Amino acid sequence: MDLQKDKERRMDMYKDLEGKTVVITGGNSGLGRAMAERFGAEKSNVVINYHSNDDNIDEIIEKIENAGGKASSIQGDVGSEEDVKRIIEHAVHTFGSLDVMVNNAGIENEVPSEQLSLDDWNKVINTNLTGQFLGSREAINYMLENDIKGSIINMSSVHQRIPWPHFVHYAASKGGVKLMTETLALEFAPKGIRVNCIAPGAIDTPINAEKFSDPELEKGVLELIPMGYIGKPEEIAACAVWLASKEASYVTGLTLFADGGMTQYPGFQAGKG
């Protein structure tokens, strides 16, 4: 299925996103890139944060501009307070506002928990949880100061709910993202700032490249997906633009699971239960 060529899939559905400024951390790869291109197709101003590799930034910017959006890029580590402040300042300086903050950047590595080093634990928590906190806090401060009823979208995972042996740091970070999202949603609802998260299942991005290049491992993952296929980044981007748009104006504190049914106890399919 090539969703980009699916003629029935409109890529410019949300007129209110035109001219809105959207920051996407880790916006040059996988889900981040798909969201950057989708917000571009909605004619938003997209700020693409990248960590170290800017090889494909020009290509992404060109694609966004060809679709009628605007784009700019900025290097930065989401785990660094100074860098996150710089990313937000760049957005405001370049496009004059900040309306949507997508805290997407994330990492994972597989280690049996009894062997997990403090260094590896800290790296994952710092990027996946502290990074999303810093991005949320800085965006919220800007929105409060400028009376913007903006939207924060955090990238969680089905592992905010499903335990994951050998990935205890990752699962802990995503469980943290869930309650951070809900707490911020409650705290800033009176100001009209909505805070939600997306919890993808298994999606075809570089984070999974090794796993999906091994047919046995891919088969194992497919058995956990009632819908029977690995998700496409565009299917997650579709969730992000909806959450950012006015169509979701009364939605806050939500975890939007986009997982082909992975969290619906797939073992119970076919009479196993």
Binding to ligand NAI by CB under 6 A, coded x per residue (else -) over 94-133, reads ----------xxxx-------------------x------
Among 68, 96, 206, 220, contact with ligand NAI (rule: CB under 6 A): 206
Scanning 77-85, 111-119, 181-189, 241-249 for contacts with ligand NAI by CB under 6 A, the matching segment is 77-85
Judged by CB, which is closer to ligand NAI: 26, or 69?
A: 26
What is the closest distance, in whole angstroms, from the C-beta atom of residue 95 to ligand NAI in the complex?
Answer: 20
Catalytically annotated residues: 170
Pick from 261, 266, 255: nearest CA to 230: 261
Among 140, 203, 239, 256, contact with ligand NAI (rule: CB under 6 A): 203
Structural Rg of the chain based on CA atoms? 18
Count Cβ atoms below 10 Å from residue 188 Cβ, excluding itself. Answer: 20
Q: Identify whether the C-beta of residue 104 lies closer than 8 Å to the C-beta of residue 47.
A: no
Q: Is the dihedral of CA 5, 7, 13, 19 positive or negative?
A: positive
Site residue total, ligand NAI (CB under 6 A): 27
What is the closest distance, in whole angstroms, from the C-beta atom of residue 198 to ligand NAI in the complex?
Answer: 8
Judged by CB, which is closer to ligand NAI: 29, or 252?
A: 29
Among 17, 22, 24, 31, contact with ligand NAI (rule: CB under 6 A): 31
Among 51, 90, 169, 194, contact with ligand NAI (rule: CB under 6 A): 51
Pick from 235, 231, 270: nearest CA to 35: 235
Q: Which residues pair with 54 in a beta bridge?
A: none
Q: How far apart are CA 143 and CA 193, in angstroms?
A: 8
What is the closest distance, in whole angstroms, from the C-beta atom of residue 271 to ligand NAI in the complex?
Answer: 28
202 lines the binding site for ligand NAI (CB under 6 A): yes
Tokens standing for residue 40: 């571009």
Instruction: Please tell me whether residue 71 adopts helix, strand or coil conformation.
Output: strand
Count Cβ atoms below 10 Å from residue 183 Cβ, excluding itself. Answer: 12
Tokens standing for residue 87: 């990313």
Residues binding ligand NAI (CB under 6 A): 25-26, 28-32, 49-51, 77-79, 104-107, 127, 155, 157, 200, 202-203, 205-208
